[in-house]
Amino acid sequence: MKTYIAILIGIVVLTGVTFGGYKIIKNKRVVKVVSAENVIRMKEVTGQVMREFEGQNVVDYSFQIPETATSTLDMDNALIKITDNNNPYATIYISYEGARGFAPVDYIGQVVAPHVSVIDMGDIKKIGDHDWQTAETEGSEWHVAGAANDQWLIIVENKKAVSDTVVKTLESFKAK
């Protein structure tokens, strides 16, 4: 009889340990390990655009792009073409609007829309320091925001394939 009681106590203890272990494991949080391959390293691009209208109008800008990307300037530093591994990443145009007074939605409607067959106006999204008016076509996205007391517009065009990374660029955009 003593043997049966010892076996029964052993089974109860074993069942308790197993059940307790299951509860502890079940309640532990799962820690997700982020692979270093998924982290995109960024570098800063800075510059200045100047326009003459009733005096000298200047905006200084900075933003982040992938470390592997390169940028080239055109149109007196107002057009920044960015490529990453020989693929288009984004095109950024900085337009002085103090004279014309275009708002982001006006720019998309009157400047961008006539050059594309179909464009769908999107929402205004707060990304970083700016409120970006969005628009898209089948393969591209546009983000347009006012900067430097709305005297300047920042126009960003990118392919949808790099949308997630371009958001990091938009988050980092500074203009003064």
Residues 6 or more apart whose Cβ sits within 8 Å of residue 150: 97, 103
Torsion, Cα 134 137 140 143, to 10 degrees, reads -10
Q: Give the model's pLDDT for residue 18.
A: 76
Single pTM value for the model: 0.77
pLDDT at 48 over 90: yes
The pLDDT tens digits for 15-31 are 776 766 666 666 665 55
pLDDT exceeding 70 applies to what percent of the chain? 85
Q: Residue 173 — very low, low, confident or very high, per pLDDT cuts 50/70/90?
A: very high
The pLDDT tens digits for 102-133 are 999 999 999 999 999 899 999 999 999 999 99
H runs (alpha helix) in 28-119: 104-107
Residues 6 or more apart whose Cβ sits within 8 Å of residue 2: none
